Chains A and B, each alone.
Chain A
Amino acid sequence: GDSVTQMEGPVTLSEEAFLTINCTYTATGYPSLFWYVQYPGEGLQLLLKATKADDKGSNKGFEATYRKETTSFHLEKGSVQVSDSAVYFCALIGGATNKLIFGTGTLLAVQP
């Protein structure tokens, strides 16, 4: 079945460092791909998405590119801030069921 694999955390960075959180997927057909963010004590927020190969999703300085050839959707940000500290979930929707399948989540801690 469909699945999402993302790098384990925690990821600890200093402010203004470059961020990469790896995400790869397994799916039949052409899934839509998402990054969600969960700030401490809050629910999930959609951060960005991409619905077809080579699409780049971007929001709040974060970017991810849908790479069909490597089945990847890595999250990047050029300069992280303390306020970016959160758990980041990679997810996909495949087929016609509209069911979201999540990765395990990656905790990002940004230190001043």
Chain B
Amino acid sequence: SAVISQKPSRDICQRGTSLTIQCQVDSQVTMMFWYRQQPGQSLTLIATANQGSEATYESGFVIDKFPISRPNLTFSTLTVSNMSPEDSSIYLCSVAGGSSYNEQFFGPGTRLTVL
């Protein structure tokens, strides 16, 4: 399985600011995803990060709020823009591809608190 790291692991931010979360994988992967896990809740897919093109967003998520970059097959960023307390969540990236195409492996997550 792939080894996935995320930075930062946690942060406390002020309302109205933006935070960029990085996801790094130790091998090239076909697909990368970003999820949100609100306190005490399950995971919700935000978007699929596409290499070399715009991300594909799920219903309820928009590019202006959650811009995503994926410059190559091992790296992606998610920005949470103009934050409010409702954005306080754990944000996780996951990857799929290679020999285990239908499996997804998750990073450790970024715990975000917005004051």
> Which A residues lie at the B interface, using CB under 8 A?
32, 34, 36, 42-46, 49, 51, 89, 93, 98-100, 102-105
Contact = CB atoms under 8 A, between A and B. Distances in A.
Contacts of B103: 34, 46, 49
Interface string B88-115: 0010101010000111111111000000
Contacts, number: 47
A93 B45 CA distance: 13
Q: How large is the interface on B (under 10, 10 to 19, 20 to 34, 35 or more residues)?
A: 20 to 34
Contacts of B1: 46
Contacts of A103: 42
Interface of A is mostly: strand
A51 B101 CA distance: 12
B102 A44 contact: no
A57 to B, nearest CB: 11
Contacts of A36: 106
A3 to B, nearest CB: 12
Contacts of A42: 108-109
